[in-house]
A = this chain, B = another copy of it.
Amino acid sequence: MVRLTHNPIDYHALTEAVRGPHYGAVALFLGTVRDLTGDQVTEFLVYEAYPPMAEKKMAEIEAEVRRRWTVGEVALVHRIGRLGVGEVSVAVAVSALHRAAAFDACRYAIDTLKELVPIWKKETAPDGVGGWVHPTSELRNAECGMRNKDTIEGDAQ
């Protein structure tokens, strides 16, 4: 199951939806809005998607997860619109017989989502300054530990 939504993500319902008596393991990942990126304060984020392509790519990620691992249920949900600090921007939940598949599939799904799915975030600081985040490929490839060096381009309003 994949979905884009303007509403807060109910990750508890999502986790319950992937749980089942056949599956001994559930892995859940939540991405949430941080108040600081390096020393830059974030007041809120705006996520924008190219919806038909984003949902298609998310469905392809689910299909690839099912091809690579024996999993039970898979859920990928990304929120779009304005999100305040602490809100959940993305949730990935995977159930499986055993934990290795649940962890590996969950991580593959979020890693691939961040690499391929056409969704963008715009950061806004308390002073109103901000901009769209368009990582350079070097930084993107350097994994999430480097995300706070993402390029922020331009000033919004």
C-alpha spacing A35/B23, complex, angstroms: 8
Which residues of chain B are within 8 angstroms of A12 by Cβ–Cβ distance?
A: 12, 15
A interface: dominant SS: mixed
Taking a contact as CB atoms under 8 Å apart, the answer to whether A34 and B11 are in contact is no
List CB contacts (< 8 Å) of A100-123 with chain B: 100-103, 106-107, 110
Taking a contact as CB atoms under 8 Å apart, the answer to whether B100 and A144 are in contact is yes
Taking a contact as CB atoms under 8 Å apart, the answer to whether A25 and B35 are in contact is no
C-alpha spacing A32/B143, complex, angstroms: 31
Kindly report how many copies of this chain are found in the complex they form together. Answer: 2
Which among B19, B31, B86, B101 is the interface contact of A32 at CB below 8 angstroms?
B19
Interface size class of A (residues with CB under 8 A): 35 or more
Q: Taking the nearest CB of chain B, how far is it from the CB of A50, in angstroms?
A: 23
Taking a contact as CB atoms under 8 Å apart, the answer to whether A147 and B98 are in contact is yes
Taking a contact as CB atoms under 8 Å apart, the answer to whether B25 and A28 are in contact is no
Residue of B nearest to A10 (CB): B12
Assuming A25-B29, A25-B32, A99-B144, what are 12 further A-B pairs, CB within 8 angstroms?
A21-B34, A23-B32, A24-B32, A25-B31, A27-B29, A27-B106, A28-B28, A28-B29, A28-B30, A29-B99, A100-B143, A103-B103
